[in-house]
Structure 1
Amino acid sequence: MPKISKKGVYLPSSPIRKLSSFADMTKKKGIKIYHLNIGQPDIPTPYHAIESLKNTSIETLAYGPSEGFENYRKKLVKYYEKCNIFLSPNDLIITTGASESLAFTMASIADTDDEIIIPEPFYANYKTFAQVYGIKIIPILSSIENHFMLPPISAFEEKISVNTKGILICNPNNPTGALYTERDLHALKGLVKKHDLFLISDEAYREFVYQDKQAPSLLSIADLDQHAIMIDSVSKRYSMCGARIGCIGSKNKVFMESVLKLAQARLCPPTLEQFAAEAALDTPDQYFESIRAEYKQRRDTLIEGLLKMKGVVCPQPEGAFYCMAEFPIEDTDHFARWLLEDFHHKKETVMVAPASGFYNHGALGKKQIRLAYVLKSQELKRATEILNSALESYLGNTFEL
């Protein structure tokens, strides 16, 4: 039997999706699952985006430009101006989701055995993309005690080596909900300029910030043009996860030329979905005001329910729609699977994402769980009631782990 590659063997499974087969079996037993494991919003996609798909008059679904349609990129420029980000259409390349943006970026800035520094816990696919290209992730640990805020700049500088090519952040952060400030970005700016590194900012959750705060964009920071790379996506912003439209933004022309070569190799991003993404840009500001209020209520409902549980610690997230909670158990991977295979409360259970997959070394997250507050408040309230009952039952049993 032919052997697959070492990469194929050792690539990590998604902590968000790896329990899907168990969830499918649970549903077949007639048990309802509250999905807190995945950031799939239930907010309706904006009317303009859906209508653009219904009204298309295309007769032949042809290839588009590798860098994305110019009309869409021009309209994105106007959107970014509202965010204090000033770009030209040539500073943008449209990608098949932010995932492709991240993969293209890593491939363009780093060679095999080069290093990228990332605060952890981090979005799990960062590790997957890095391993595909033979890049080493150098983690900088953020702590739940400090609400997962940006670690000290000195901790970053200690990790810089001759192989370091860049620093990658997610702001607002997935999986923790932490929000990095403009002061944080300026501190990182000084570091990357001093050591001549790239600074990459994943800004897919820009609109989801609470307590009257804002998420500063990396591209709004002056005098950083040759170092700054922005990763973005329509998935969460417009509740269009299935559209798979993202983009890379940078004024570094050499970097963008490299990205374009990769974009040409995969031919083009999806055509119809670009039309929908372009139409979504007509969404009025009131849309974001209403969904921010909705997510804030959901956040407060989930955090309130979690903090009622004995021994659970969970800092209040300031952005995105995730929280990272610590549970008084030794192995949340086991707990998450047990919730699906062996537990239900009145024919209902909860699916969660164990945090080990969000750390470079999984042992650091063994007591933590990422939860997404993408369900309605009443459902979140019920989900926390189930979790509380499950935790009490789990702690009352002895397991061989």
Structure 2
Amino acid sequence: MKGRTGATFASPITLSRQWLTGVTFPPERPLINVSQAAPVAPPPAAMLDEMARIVREDPDAHRYGPDLGLPALRAALAARWQQIHGGTVTAAQVAITSGANQAYCSATAMLCAEGDAVILPSPWYFNHRMWNDIAGIDTIALHTGDDLIPDVAAAAALITPRTRAIVLVTPNNPGGVEYPRAVVHAFYALAKARGIALILDETYRDFDSRNAPAHGLFVEEDWDQTLIHIYSFSKAYHIPGHRIGALASSPARLDEVEKFIDSVTICPSQLGQRAALWGLTNLDGWLADERAEILSRRAAVIAGFAPLAAQGWKLLGCGAYFAYVEHPFAMPSDTLAQRLVQEAGVLMLPGTMFTPPGDASGQRQLRIAFANVDTDGIAALFKRLLSYQP
């Protein structure tokens, strides 16, 4: 096949699911699945009731809506960003998208022609790399060290006349690390000085462990000329199947984004948008409890890791939904990940899925997505890893 999709690799989630084929998991050792970050629990009961009411009573929920999203949701999200970060954010600077993935795809489609370049810190979120490949965008790897924090000077050295954007994901997927405020602002200053965009993906911002705002970029003068901000409602309200994300930037850029959305989905899900708006209005307390639970799981990972560290494992990053680890075994991580399914009943993704082909660090790394396992499940996972001998 010669289509654009042939330029990229198979979906890591789909590929890893194939490792389960033909494998049985006895009752005393059920599968521990820490491969995917999307919440599997349904939304809270009150939201489900509201969604059922909308389905029955709101005929507009079944029709096309505005390409850039419901005006009320755009306004509510703009107000939320102002409340959290300060500065000025207007509804005209916010677009609602069919998930955060579409926000990224539409942003890069607006910024880049085929052959242009985007800088991604490595390890990276694999769907960002996949879309770049499909769109003919050159992915420039910004390698990070053991702390998984990208270096702004190293990024500056990678910028060429073809570079259109630098991408940061914080809290990070796959690394879990929370980028320090000073780092985010330094990357913004670099992007502004070099006339490129900073795409800041905060899909997991609701589960940041810091109580202070992670950045103050919306306070910057003319922030929308440099910053493209991405957010997802999927994690916050357990509605990943309804595909509701958001993108914030200048109205002129959103005019271009609108062309992409109209050509792909026409509009975001009407039901999902109404659910997200209801969540923004009614679920702050519930979301605070969700954050507290995720932070308790993060603490359980950090507190329980010492025995693994004694066996040579390294915890490179931990936050939001993820822990990113280095394994001690003399085999590449993609081989180890498949063997862990068969021999330990554990499904996780290898670092090779988040790094350039042949990258030595990816061969030693694994991502643990712990959002769907409680503290007892984390303890059981670590027990299996401790006892595993290839």
Q: CA separation in 1, counterparts of 2:21 and 2:380? A: 21
What residue number does 1:351 align with?
A: 347
- 1:360 maps to a residue whose letter is P
Q: Which residue pairs with 1:114 in the alignment?
A: 116
Give the direction of change, closer, same or farther, for the CA distance of 1:204–1:218 in structure 2 (3 Å limit): farther
Pick closer, same or farther for the CA change 1:311–1:278 going to 2, 3 Å. Answer: same
- Give the letter aligned to residue 320 of structure 2: A
- 2:127 partner letter: N
Q: Which amino acid aligns with 1:74?
A: A
User: What is the alpha-carbon distance in structure 1 between the residues aligned to residue 277 and residue 210 of structure 2?
Assistant: 29
Q: Report the AA paired with residue 125 of structure 2.
A: Y
Aligned CA RMSD, in angstroms, stands at: 2.1
Q: Secondary structure at the match of 1:18?
A: helix
Equivalenced residue count is: 379
Q: CA deviation at 1:12?
A: 1.5
Q: Distance in 1 between matches of 2:287 and 2:59?
A: 34
Equivalent residue in structure 2 for 1:254, among 241, 252, 255? 252
8 Å CA contact retained: 1:219, 1:229? no
CA contact (8 A) 1:172 1:203 kept: yes
What code does the residue aligned with 2:247 have?
I
Q: Deviations over 1:129-173 (max 9, x none)?
A: 1011100111111112xx21231x211111111101111111111
SS of 1:158's equivalent?
helix
Counterpart of 2:323 in structure 1: which amino acid? C
Query: CA separation in 1, counterparts of 2:41 and 2:83?
Result: 23
Q: The residue matched to 1:274 in structure 2 has which SS?
A: helix
Q: Which residue of 2 aligns with 1:383?
A: 381
Report the Cα offset of residue 357 of structure 1: 1.1
Structure 2 counterpart of 1:206, one-letter code = R
Counterpart in 2 of 1:397? none
Q: Which moved more, 1:131-140 or 1:41-50?
A: 41-50
Once residues 221 and 356 of structure 1 are traced to their aligned partners in structure 2, the CA distance between those partners, rounded to angstroms, is: 37
Residue in 1 that maps onto 2:69: 68
C-alpha distance in 2 between matches for 1:40 and 1:119: 22
- 1:198–1:273 distance in 2 versus 1, CA, 3 Å: same
**How far did residue 243 of structure 1 move?**
1.6
Structure 1's 211 and 84: CA in aligned 2 closer, same or farther, altered over 3 A?
Answer: closer
TM-score of the pair, normalised by structure 1: 0.88
Contact 1:303–1:316, Cα closer than 8 Å, also in 2: no
Cα deviations across residues 161-186 of structure 1 (Å, max 9, x unaligned)?
A: 11011111111111111112221122
Query: Contact between 1:130 and 1:136, CA under 8 Å: does it hold in 2?
Result: yes
Q: What SS does structure 1 have at the residue aligned with 2:11? A: coil
Q: 2: distance between equivalents of 1:221 and 1:389?
A: 51
Match of 1:38 in 2: 36
For 1:220 and 1:34, the matched residues in 2 are separated by: 43
Residue deviations 1:300-322, cap 9 Å, x none?
Answer: 222333331201000352x3221
SS in 2 for 1:178: coil
- Whichever residue aligns with residue 91 of structure 1, its letter is Q
CA distance in 1, matches of 2:248, 2:218: 8
Where structure 2 has 5 or more consecutive residues not aligned to the other structure, the ranges are none
Deviates more, 1:171-180 or 1:219-228: 219-228
SS of the residue 1:324 aligns to? strand
In 2 relative to 1, CA 378–29 (structure 1 residues): closer, same or farther, beyond 3 Å? closer
Contact 1:189 1:224 in 2 (8 A): no
Pairs within 5 Å for 1:63-212: 63-84=64-85, 86-144=88-146, 147-151=147-151, 153-210=152-209, 212=211
Following superposition, the deviation at residue 125 of structure 1 comes to 0.5
Distance in 1, Cα, partners of 2:322 & 2:354:
13
Whole-Å separation in 2 of the counterparts to 1:172 and 1:232: 12
Q: In the alignment, is the contact (CA less than 8 A) between 2:106 and 2:260 conserved in 1?
A: yes
Distance 1:331 1:306 in 2: 21
Residues 332-380 of structure 1 show CA distances to partners (whole Å, capped at 9, x for unaligned) of: 1111111223x14xxxx11101011111335330110010111110111
1:368 to 365, 368, 371: 365
Q: Which amino acid aligns with 2:376?
A: Q
Aligned match of 1:322 = 322
Q: Residue 83 of structure 1 aligns to a residue in which SS? A: helix
Q: Is the 8 A contact 2:116 2:162 kept in 1?
A: yes
Paired residue for 2:336?
A: 335
CA gap of 1:220–1:23, structure 2 versus 1, over 3 A, is farther
Distance 1:279 1:297, change over 3 A: same
Aligned in 2, Cα 1:324/1:231: closer, same or farther, shift over 3 Å?
A: same
The structure with the largest helix share of the pair is: 2
